[in-house]
Amino acid sequence: MELPSYRLQLPDWVGACIQEPDKIFHTVEERMELAITLAVNNINNNGGPFGAAIFEQHSGRLVAPGVNLVLQSNCSVVHAEIVAIMLAQQKVANFDLGAEGLPGYELVTTTEPCAMCLGAIPWSGINSLVCGARDEDARSIGFDEGDKPENWTHKLQSRSISVTRDILRDKAKGVLQQYIDAGGIIYNGRVQITK
């Protein structure tokens, strides 16, 4: 029996979104703009409406982009945040992005994390989370974000992970609407809903 395997690879078009690989993203707004650009391009390439990226928090250097690969890969766990985390950990050759000697890392995501991604954040080692659209924005178009504690931001902050919300929220929320307007599939476990 041949054992199954899985290979994670970003679509080729992602490279075109990162026109200046050495660019420094000084502000959280600039970082969110990149995540939004990734999400919009993912929609345009038959993917889900979510983008993320991990940056060195203080320098603003991009470490790893991420896009939602659920539809392209038929794998429910490859959300944009998970993809960015996995690629960043591979790039720095450490499963702990908070390890001694590494700079602090920031995860920027177009929508607040679902329950799965929320669970992965503390284990990733990042020390900052920046979100665009809110959980309720994703739920309002039909996505199942899972069961999250009401005070999830405080739970992360108690683990020394800062949380910044609503960065370019209207623009990030607009990406979700663009996905629906384009006839995007709402892919939830056991149920697929189209609007």
Task: Write out the catalytic residue numbers.
Answer: 81
The HSE-up count of residue 44 (CA atoms within 13 Å, CB side) is: 9
The separation between CA 42 and the C-alpha centre of its own chain, rounded to angstroms, equals: 12
- Longest pairwise C-alpha distance within the chain: 51
Q: What DSSP string runs through 128-177?
A: EEEEEE-HHHHHHTT-------TTHHHHHHTTT-EEE--TTHHHHHHHHH
| Cβ pair 189, 145 in contact under 8 A | no
C-alpha–C-alpha distance, residues 122 and 181, integer Å: 34
H helix or E strand, kind and range, residue 1: none
